[in-house]
Chain A
């Protein structure tokens, strides 16, 4: 089976997480790093928005500051995601352009890569399927959202898989006028989004999901995951990107 570098489940803040993803694309572009799968969590908890979204349109920055929740703009499109430290695991998969897992047909490549999440959920006895454009659903409810960018001669797809869901907190972070947060809206979200703990009706540890994702991606994508680490150059690039881009108001509030 094809070998991928595997960066095991680790914890970073929002700026480091997004900077590391981009730094890996730079290393792969230069032929210095192999295709890579990375699992990570966000501490402090953070909200990420799609690259074309307006930060102040989507996120209640005052609530975030008061509650020590970071906010960041991704390099990928898509919508706003709340990355609760205890409530989700994020992955990123980065391959050179033209790789078999990332055909030029974008929908097709989402479907292929999301196969890893579907297999991970299957490992946890959850039956899930891909729902175009970029979601994985179980019982008609979204349990994972994914986003892709194609740059630096790479395809990068990252996504979240929900372990737990606190709709009330989510609505406090995302900019829905408070008076409009009705019980009905909360019920509507509960009808359209779910989490692993809700589906299984038991407490599931973050590490259990991490392990399932590792097995799921390996099995579905037919890749051998070789535990590795960031190279010094990648870490240096990540530090630079964090300082010059991801932690700056210029980037995060650019729209």
Chain B
């Protein structure tokens, strides 16, 4: 189990609680003082990330696609910031 805290430059704080398994995400909790509309998207994202490979570039793309498909807006951080924070927790 790993944790990370990443203050996005000019943005908000991301706190990650990660359970990795063999280079993949087994479980993840994303916390922080960012904004995400609609808010329910976050729990769905955490579920979506389970099983994904711990590769920063691939994760950033997956997260961005997930937000695009959910028509969600993240404010105070970006998909790439979340991916970065996740890798920091490894």
Residues of A within 8 A of B (CB): 50-54, 57, 75-80, 106-107, 133-134, 147-151, 255
Contact of A151 among B11, B38, B75 (CB under 8 A): B38
Chain B residues with Cβ below 8 Å from A134 are 35
Q: Are B38 and A150 in contact (CB under 8 A)?
A: yes
Closest CB in chain A relative to B47 CB, distance in Å: 15
Residues of B within 8 A of A (CB): 11-13, 15, 29-39, 42, 73, 75-76
Chain B residues with Cβ below 8 Å from A151 are 38-39
Closest CB in chain A relative to B31 CB, distance in Å: 5
Can you pick out 18 interface pairs between chain A and chain B where the beta carbons lie within 8 Å of each other? A53-B31, A53-B32, A53-B33, A54-B31, A57-B15, A75-B39, A77-B34, A77-B35, A78-B33, A78-B35, A79-B12, A79-B33, A106-B35, A106-B37, A133-B35, A148-B37, A149-B39, A255-B31
Chain A residues with Cβ below 8 Å from B36 are 52, 77
Given contacts A106-B75, A133-B76, contact A52 B34 (CB under 8 A): yes
Q: Are A106 and B15 in contact (CB under 8 A)?
A: no
Given contacts A76-B35, A151-B38, A255-B31, 5 further A-B contacts (CB under 8 A): A52-B31, A52-B42, A77-B75, A133-B12, A148-B37
Q: Mostly helix, strand, loop or mixed at chain B's interface?
A: strand
Q: Are B75 and A133 in contact (CB under 8 A)?
A: yes
Residue of B whose beta carbon sits closest to that of A150: B37
Q: Are A52 and B75 in contact (CB under 8 A)?
A: no
